[in-house]
Structure 1
Amino acid sequence: MGMPFNQEGYGLIYNKEIFTKAGIDASKIKTYADLEAASKTLDSKKKDLKLDAVFALPGKETWVTGLHLSNIAFANEFPTVLDAFNAKTTTFKQNQPLKKLLDLQIKYAYKPDGSNKSINSLDYSTQVEKMFSMGKVAIIQQGNWAFGSIDGIDPELSKNIGILPTPLDGVKEGWIYKLCNRF
């Protein structure tokens, strides 16, 4: 007997070569402050790194922010996955850390027309295939499913990517935080 099983992982996919050129050790990025510092460093070196922006955030794809990113905030409301599963309500006490993480991505994001509003026109294909796979941004919020798209465009790049946890500012509790910071 068997049971179908699928495992997906998501977080912040990054280009290892760009991080190395910028002098950033991704293994040291464990907190929101670490991610913010890395983002500032990348932004300050955009010209030398030939980047259009640090992030590409696909605002058109509501599942990226509405499901994946918000899941991190909601999961950190509970001490265990079982507590999260059994909960009848949540207080959404991580709303401000979630907003702060989203604002960081927006601040350093590729903006097609230069305004924050244009992030809502960015779709998955533009984020993954045009911006990240073509080396125009260093970080995208996605998951292991993006590998096929990246590999199809640049097999060498696909061998040179990593994934970071998506840290919420001040969150040092909860099963999801502990899980993400084991790596």
Structure 2
Amino acid sequence: MSSLFSSFKGTAQSLTAIRRPWRDFFDITAVDIPTSSSDATTRIAQNLTHFRLNYTIILLVILCLSLIYHPLALVTFFVILLAWFFLYLARDRDEPVVIFGFLIDDRLVLAALVGLTVAGLVLTGVWGNVLVAVLVGVGITILHAVLRSTDDLVMDDLESPYGHVLAGGDDELDSPRGDYTGI
């Protein structure tokens, strides 16, 4: 029980560390129309990376609101969310999954969780509500990601959606470009 609590606490702390302040997320002064489709796709990639936990929280709130008149479905999805959290999201990837003394592969755990989620949707009869809620949430997320300027965002190269491509110092040995020289 103690290891379960410490695992939950560690995951909560790491999630809190990546959540961005809501005042930055809802900054009205950062709203700007993108100048091109290239600018829009860059904004989407950067904002989705920078505000990923904020967007996830908004999607979960919209999902819960869509299930408010279906308490059985809400409880079912809360249990499924806990299963996702403990069996897939919160555990160390180096630590194997052992259920009833059997060693379970990560792909099998993922397939079982997806199957459990689909079964929960079908058996509670709210798949239409969930589909509409997810579409609304994704629409709001994409709209925010396109309209929010990324000029004021401070992002580490490791956090960047472009990863190590943008990283690289003056030393050629550390550069992802290798020993390329300009013409």
Q: Which structure has the bigger radius of gyration?
A: 2
Greater strand proportion: 1
Common fold by TM > 0.5 = no
User: Whose relative contact order is higher, 1 or 2, with alpha carbons under 8 Å and at least 6 apart?
Assistant: 1
Greater helix proportion: 2
TM-score by structure 2 length? Answer: 0.28
